[in-house]
Amino acid sequence: MKILKFLKDIFKEEEKEIKIKKDEEITIQELEESINKKINEIKSKEEILNQDVNSKIDLFIAELKEKEKKVEEVDIELKEKNEKIKSVVYEGRKKYLEFIERLIDNLEKAKEVPEFNRKIESINASFLRFGENSPKSYERATILIGKEMGEIRDSLKRFSTDILTLFKENQNIVLEYKAINSIKSRCQKKKENEEEIKKLNQTVEELNKKIEDNEQEKQDITEKVEKIKKSKEHLENIKLQKDIKIKEEEIRKQISDLRQLIDFKSLTSFFHSFEDKMNIIKSYKDNFLGEFNYDKGDKLIKLLNDSNLNNEIINQKIKDINNNENLLKEKQSDLKKDETLSIISDIESIKEKIENMKKEKDWAEKNTEKIKEESNENIKKIKEEAKNIQIIIKD
């Protein structure tokens, strides 16, 4: 129906700048109070407008019901003899009146909507549904019920014109309300940004304190290590460690020299028929140091004695090795645990903690800058939008 066309476009018009009366200059800290004041002003205007719209709806519904009754009272039987035409008209009238009742129900619901712009949207939606569903039944009913159906159409047109006029006259309120909602949303975002920045700054502050404390702890422990390193006990222990290494190297050389004295070829020739003896010989030959350390040369000496290949030089070498190993055990028993090792491990752990905290701090600082940029852009848009509702935000 062409009379409903305005409703299809009513919310598609380009937004116009709200008519400025007199600019109000405030700081951004005063904006929320000013916005709430404007919301209260709009609500007062809305209450009057809603009463006006609801009154128009009531009058329109009463008018529709009256004209519905006239349409229902039309005697189709007197107007037409053709049964097929009568059936089409009966069906068209029935359906059209059902659509009218649905429209009335939807308009009754629209009366309960508190906001002016949403109330108009609700009316708009009701008429659009009616306009989409009713044309065919309207055309069928008007075959025999032209005048009465036309009166309903005229009522629809008048109501549409009244609502359109009311909307256009008060469109400024709708646009202002939309602008205020946008500013409120941005103000909420501003608060969230400020809260995030506050938390991030607090995080940075806490991290700085923790880093400082850990740096001090690292310094204290380092000084403790240096003190231990200079102590007589530690220096003696370090000397003992060096002596042990020297003695271990001496023993390894003695064992290596011993190997050179062993005639493995003669041993192999003597015991070639004895598998168990040959296994011992092979083990010593392949890994002399490991086997000697394992049994202190007992098996080797027995083989040498049994084969008459032992001699005083070999015996003395083994005796020297055993004496050195006894001395080594004495030195090892005197060796104390190096206290600095566990402390140095603690220092490395603290260094890792400090590094992780510095990374966390770096992330927090970068995120703070990012949020500050977003916040500044948001404030810029708040200032721009505030101008549309007669508010100038001072820098």
Which pLDDT does position 41 carry in this prediction? 83
For residue 221, which of 350, 66, 376 has the smallest C-alpha distance? 350
Confidence category of residue 52, pLDDT binned at 50, 70, 90: very high
The string of pLDDT tens digits covering residues 141-197 is 888 888 988 999 999 999 988 888 888 888 888 788 788 888 888 888 999 999 999
What is the Cα–Cα distance from 226 to 234, expressed in whole angstroms? 11
Amino acid at 355: E
What pLDDT shows up at residue 332? 83
Show the domain range for 59. 26-169
In a domain, 1, yes or no: no
Residue 13: per-residue pLDDT: 47
Within-domain flag for 346: no
Residues 271/365, Cβ–Cβ less than 8 Å: no
Average pLDDT over residues 253-279: 90
Name the token pair of 84.
Answer: 């097929």
pLDDT on residue 15: 45
Domain-embedded: residue 232: no
Most confident of 1-5, 45-49, 124-128: 124-128
Point out the domain boundary residue: 137, 153, 169: 169
In a domain, 221, yes or no: no
Residue 336 has pLDDT above 50, yes or no: yes
State the pTM of this model: 0.56
Write the CA distances from 271 to 93, 278, 378, integer angstroms: 126, 6, 96
Question: Is 317 part of a structural domain of the chain?
Answer: no
Helix (H), strand (E), coil (C) string for 288-348: HHHHHHHHCCHHHHHHHHHCCCCCHHHHHHHHHHHHHHHHHHHHHHHCCCCHHHHHHHHHH
Do 153 and 38 belong to one domain? yes
Q: Between β-strands 391-393 and 24-26, what pairing exists: parallel, antiparallel or unpaired? A: parallel
Last residue of a domain, one of 131, 146, 169: 169
Mean pLDDT of the chain: 86
Quickly list DSSP for 67-111.
HHHHHHH--HHHH---HHHHHHHHHHHHHHHHHHHHHHHHHHHHH
* In a shared domain, residues 30 and 165: yes
> Residue 253: pLDDT above 90?
yes
Say whether pLDDT at 366 is over 90.
Answer: yes
> How many domains would you assign to the chain?
2
194 found inside a domain: no
Domain assignment present for residue 99? The answer is yes
**59 and 165 in a common domain:** yes
Strand segments (E) across the chain: 24-26, 391-393
- Domain limit, last residue, from 136, 153, 169: 169
What is the band of 123 on the pLDDT scale with cuts at 50, 70, 90? Answer: very high
H or E element in which residue 197 lies: helix 171-230
DSSP three-state, residue 26 = strand
> In the predicted model, is pLDDT for residue 47 greater than 60?
yes
Whether residues 32 and 164 share a domain: the answer is: yes
Q: What is the pLDDT of residues 370-380, one digit of tens each?
A: 999 999 999 89
Q: Are residues 158 and 284 in the same domain?
A: no
Question: From the CB of residue 346, how many other CB atoms can be counted at a distance below 10 Å?
Answer: 14
The amino acid present at 201, given as its one-letter code, is N
> What mean pLDDT is predicted for residues 260-269?
90
* Residue 192 domain-assigned (yes or no): no
Q: What is the pLDDT of residue 178?
A: 83
